[in-house]
């Protein structure tokens, strides 16, 4: 099981959109996937079409991680039940309750809470995507503690590029203190406008700053993305050429992320 955090220290860059796009690609590829909605806004839960019933949300599982029984409390995405796929795409439900852990003063023991919760999932999923809040407080650090790698999301703008640089430094410091095996998986440039000179300049700047960590392809700005999310629909099964093109881009990005993970890569190619 590979655990990947989707992070940004700047809000509004489309981090949840990237998380759901990668989840859509994984579902289309037949990779059993769990999305952990760690953002207190719980937007990933909404976009994945989850209707909570009696399940514990991720915040309440974190409260008592050793008794969480996550496999009994995940909810299936409606992307599966509506006929988009017969694969596995489950969600650890987000809620505002997680906000009690989004503090800067969590100790080492608290940072292991999500790791303990995910300990019961090793035989059920090949990929776990964690949608993190846009901060470096307790929840993001908890996610990084539980992760193998971190995917950073950035827009090609001044403040977002600066935020990405801060995040890279934060990962390095976190590795030294808490998680020596954690590594950046790459940076996804999101909401790119092809006709924008500013975006072209910032992309070139990111290439010079981050080199091969800046993944390609980039995700263009898409007018109907909010409509897709509002309908709780997989981009791979949304009609129209724009959605089809976006689906291909997320397929390519997922392949990049899985390049160094042979078990997932082989399943992806079958």
Q: Residues 248-259: pLDDT tens digits?
A: 999 999 999 887
Identify any residues that bridge with 127 across adjacent strands, giving them in sequence order: 2, 33
Lowest-confidence pick of 70-84, 195-209, 223-237, 247-261: 70-84
Residue 264 or 237, more confident? 237
Q: 191 CB contacts (<8 Å, ≥6 apart)?
A: 13, 14, 155, 219, 220, 221
> How sure is the predictor about 268, in pLDDT bands with cuts at 50, 70 and 90?
very low
| pLDDT of 51 | 82
Decide: pTM greater than 0.75. Answer: yes
Least Cα distance to 47 among 87, 93, 96, 8 occurs for: 93
Both tokens of 91, joined, read: 């969600």
The H or E element that residue 265 is part of is: helix 262-269
**Predicted confidence (pLDDT) per residue in 44-64, tens digit:** 999 999 987 889 999 999 999
């Amino acid at each position: 099981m590979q655990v990947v955090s989707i992070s940004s220290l700047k809000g509004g860059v489309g981090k949840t959109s990237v998380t759901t796009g990668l989840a859509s690609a994984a579902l289309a590829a037949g990779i059993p996937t769990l999305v952990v909605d760690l953002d207190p806004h719980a937007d990933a839960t909404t976009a994945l079409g989850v209707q909570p019933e009696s399940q514990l949300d991720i915040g309440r599982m974190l409260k008592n991680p050793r008794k969480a029984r996550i496999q009994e409390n995940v909810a299936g995405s409606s992307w599966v039940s509506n006929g988009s796929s017969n694969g596995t795409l489950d969600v650890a439900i987000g809620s505002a309750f997680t906000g009690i852990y989004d503090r800067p003063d969590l100790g080492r023991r608290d940072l292991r809470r999500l790791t303990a919760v995910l300990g019961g999932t090793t035989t059920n999923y090949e990929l776990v995507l964690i949608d993190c809040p846009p901060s470096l407080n307790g929840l993001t650090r908890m996610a990084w503690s539980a992760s193998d790698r971190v995917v950073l999301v950035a827009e090609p703008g001044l403040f977002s590029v600066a935020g990405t640089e801060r995040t890279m430094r934060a990962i390095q410091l976190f590795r030294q203190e808490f998680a020596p095996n954690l590594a950046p998986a790459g940076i996804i440039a999101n909401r790119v406008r092809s006709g924008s000179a500013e975006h072209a300049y910032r992309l070139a700047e990111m290439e010079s700053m981050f080199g091969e960590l800046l993944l390609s392809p980039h995700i263009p700005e898409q007018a109907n993305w909010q409509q897709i999310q509002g309908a709780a629909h997989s981009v791979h099964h949304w009609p129209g050429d724009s959605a089809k093109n976006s689906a291909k881009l997320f397929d390519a990005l997922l392949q990049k992320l899985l390049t160094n993970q042979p078990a997932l890569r082989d399943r992806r190619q079958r």
